[in-house]
Amino acid sequence: MGDIVLKKDIKILVVDDFSTMRRIIKNLLRDLGFTNVVEADDGKTAMPILQQGEVQFLVTDWNMPGMTGIDLVRAVRADPKMAGMPILMVTAEAKREQIIAAAQAGVNGYVIKPFTAAVLKGKIDKIFDRIGS
Protein backbone atom coordinates (compact mmCIF):
# COMPACT_ATOMS: atom_id res chain seq x y z
CA MET A 1 0.00 0.00 0.00
CA GLY A 2 2.83 2.37 0.92
CA ASP A 3 4.39 1.62 -2.47
CA ILE A 4 1.27 2.74 -4.34
CA VAL A 5 1.09 6.05 -2.48
CA LEU A 6 4.74 6.67 -3.30
CA LYS A 7 4.16 5.75 -6.95
CA LYS A 8 1.21 8.11 -7.46
CA ASP A 9 3.10 10.95 -5.85
CA ILE A 10 6.05 10.97 -8.24
CA LYS A 11 6.90 14.01 -10.33
CA ILE A 12 6.33 13.47 -14.07
CA LEU A 13 7.62 15.66 -16.91
CA VAL A 14 5.58 15.82 -20.14
CA VAL A 15 7.50 17.24 -23.13
CA ASP A 16 5.63 18.18 -26.34
CA ASP A 17 5.62 21.32 -28.49
CA PHE A 18 1.81 21.14 -28.89
CA SER A 19 -0.03 22.41 -25.81
CA THR A 20 -3.06 20.31 -26.86
CA MET A 21 -1.06 17.08 -26.59
CA ARG A 22 0.53 18.07 -23.25
CA ARG A 23 -2.93 18.67 -21.86
CA ILE A 24 -4.29 15.34 -23.15
CA ILE A 25 -1.41 13.38 -21.62
CA LYS A 26 -1.63 15.37 -18.38
CA ASN A 27 -5.37 14.60 -18.08
CA LEU A 28 -4.85 10.89 -18.77
CA LEU A 29 -2.11 10.79 -16.12
CA ARG A 30 -4.52 12.47 -13.70
CA ASP A 31 -7.09 9.74 -14.48
CA LEU A 32 -4.42 7.22 -13.46
CA GLY A 33 -3.91 9.11 -10.19
CA PHE A 34 -0.70 10.98 -11.11
CA THR A 35 -1.26 14.63 -10.28
CA ASN A 36 2.29 15.92 -9.90
CA VAL A 37 2.92 16.74 -13.56
CA VAL A 38 5.16 19.46 -15.03
CA GLU A 39 5.46 20.45 -18.70
CA ALA A 40 8.10 21.55 -21.21
CA ASP A 41 7.76 22.35 -24.91
CA ASP A 42 11.00 20.87 -26.21
CA GLY A 43 14.23 19.14 -25.14
CA LYS A 44 15.97 22.44 -24.45
CA THR A 45 13.40 23.61 -21.91
CA ALA A 46 13.09 20.07 -20.50
CA MET A 47 16.78 19.67 -19.58
CA PRO A 48 16.95 22.34 -16.82
CA ILE A 49 13.79 20.88 -15.25
CA LEU A 50 15.25 17.36 -15.36
CA GLN A 51 18.55 18.55 -13.92
CA GLN A 52 16.79 19.76 -10.78
CA GLY A 53 16.62 16.05 -9.99
CA GLU A 54 12.98 15.76 -8.88
CA VAL A 55 11.46 14.27 -12.02
CA GLN A 56 11.08 10.47 -11.81
CA PHE A 57 9.26 9.73 -15.07
CA LEU A 58 9.65 11.36 -18.49
CA VAL A 59 7.03 11.36 -21.27
CA THR A 60 8.35 12.95 -24.47
CA ASP A 61 7.41 13.67 -28.08
CA TRP A 62 10.06 13.23 -30.83
CA ASN A 63 9.49 15.95 -33.43
CA MET A 64 10.04 19.27 -31.66
CA PRO A 65 11.86 22.48 -32.62
CA GLY A 66 14.99 23.32 -30.66
CA MET A 67 15.95 19.95 -29.22
CA THR A 68 14.17 16.81 -30.45
CA GLY A 69 12.89 14.04 -28.22
CA ILE A 70 15.45 11.49 -29.42
CA ASP A 71 18.27 13.89 -28.49
CA LEU A 72 16.61 14.46 -25.13
CA VAL A 73 16.47 10.68 -24.50
CA ARG A 74 20.18 10.35 -25.38
CA ALA A 75 21.08 13.29 -23.11
CA VAL A 76 19.12 11.79 -20.22
CA ARG A 77 20.69 8.36 -20.69
CA ALA A 78 24.15 9.93 -20.86
CA ASP A 79 23.68 11.59 -17.47
CA PRO A 80 24.59 9.12 -14.70
CA LYS A 81 22.05 10.71 -12.33
CA MET A 82 19.17 10.16 -14.78
CA ALA A 83 20.36 7.08 -16.70
CA GLY A 84 17.79 4.87 -14.98
CA MET A 85 14.77 7.16 -15.33
CA PRO A 86 11.81 5.52 -17.09
CA ILE A 87 11.02 7.22 -20.41
CA LEU A 88 7.89 6.87 -22.54
CA MET A 89 8.05 8.24 -26.06
CA VAL A 90 4.71 9.43 -27.49
CA THR A 91 5.14 10.47 -31.12
CA ALA A 92 3.75 10.46 -34.66
CA GLU A 93 7.12 9.19 -35.95
CA ALA A 94 6.33 5.69 -37.21
CA LYS A 95 9.23 4.49 -39.37
CA ARG A 96 10.86 1.19 -38.38
CA GLU A 97 14.31 2.78 -38.20
CA GLN A 98 12.97 5.45 -35.89
CA ILE A 99 11.27 3.00 -33.53
CA ILE A 100 14.41 0.85 -33.37
CA ALA A 101 16.62 3.92 -32.84
CA ALA A 102 14.39 5.05 -29.96
CA ALA A 103 14.57 1.59 -28.36
CA GLN A 104 18.35 1.58 -28.75
CA ALA A 105 18.56 5.06 -27.26
CA GLY A 106 16.86 3.57 -24.21
CA VAL A 107 13.16 4.43 -24.19
CA ASN A 108 11.03 2.15 -21.97
CA GLY A 109 7.92 2.44 -24.13
CA TYR A 110 6.90 3.79 -27.56
CA VAL A 111 3.36 4.96 -28.33
CA ILE A 112 2.43 6.30 -31.78
CA LYS A 113 -0.02 9.14 -32.26
CA PRO A 114 -2.92 9.14 -32.53
CA PHE A 115 -3.36 6.80 -29.58
CA THR A 116 -6.31 5.69 -27.48
CA ALA A 117 -6.60 6.32 -23.76
CA ALA A 118 -6.38 2.56 -23.19
CA VAL A 119 -3.08 2.23 -25.10
CA LEU A 120 -1.39 5.12 -23.29
CA LYS A 121 -2.61 3.96 -19.88
CA GLY A 122 -1.55 0.39 -20.68
CA LYS A 123 2.01 1.44 -21.58
CA ILE A 124 2.34 3.59 -18.46
CA ASP A 125 1.09 0.73 -16.25
CA LYS A 126 3.56 -1.64 -17.91
CA ILE A 127 6.49 0.70 -17.26
CA PHE A 128 5.59 0.99 -13.57
CA ASP A 129 5.00 -2.77 -13.28
CA ARG A 130 8.50 -3.42 -14.58
CA ILE A 131 10.00 -0.92 -12.18
CA GLY A 132 8.02 -2.39 -9.29
CA SER A 133 9.11 -5.97 -9.99
C-alpha–C-alpha distance, residues 102 and 87, integer Å: 10
Q: Does 28 bind another protein (CB under 8 A)?
A: yes
Answer for which of 97, 129, 132, 133 binds another protein (CB under 8 A) is: 97
| Binding residues with another protein: total (CB under 8 A) | 36
* Closest distance of CB 111 from another protein, Å: 7
* Closest distance of CB 40 from another protein, Å: 16
Q: Does 63 bind another protein (CB under 8 A)?
A: yes
Q: Does 27 bind another protein (CB under 8 A)?
A: yes
Q: Does 99 bind another protein (CB under 8 A)?
A: yes
CA 129, 5, 7, 35 torsion-angle sign: positive
Residues shown for the chain: 133
C-alpha–C-alpha distance, residues 78 and 68, integer Å: 15
CA distances from 4 to 7, 37, 53, 86 (A): 5, 17, 21, 17
Q: Does 18 bind another protein (CB under 8 A)?
A: yes
C-beta separation of 105 from 73 below 8 A: yes
Residue 47: what residue type? M
Answer for which of 93, 124, 127, 128 binds another protein (CB under 8 A) is: 93
- Residues forming contacts to another protein in the complex (CB under 8 A) are 16, 18-21, 23-24, 27-28, 31, 62-64, 68, 70, 92-101, 103, 110-117, 119-120
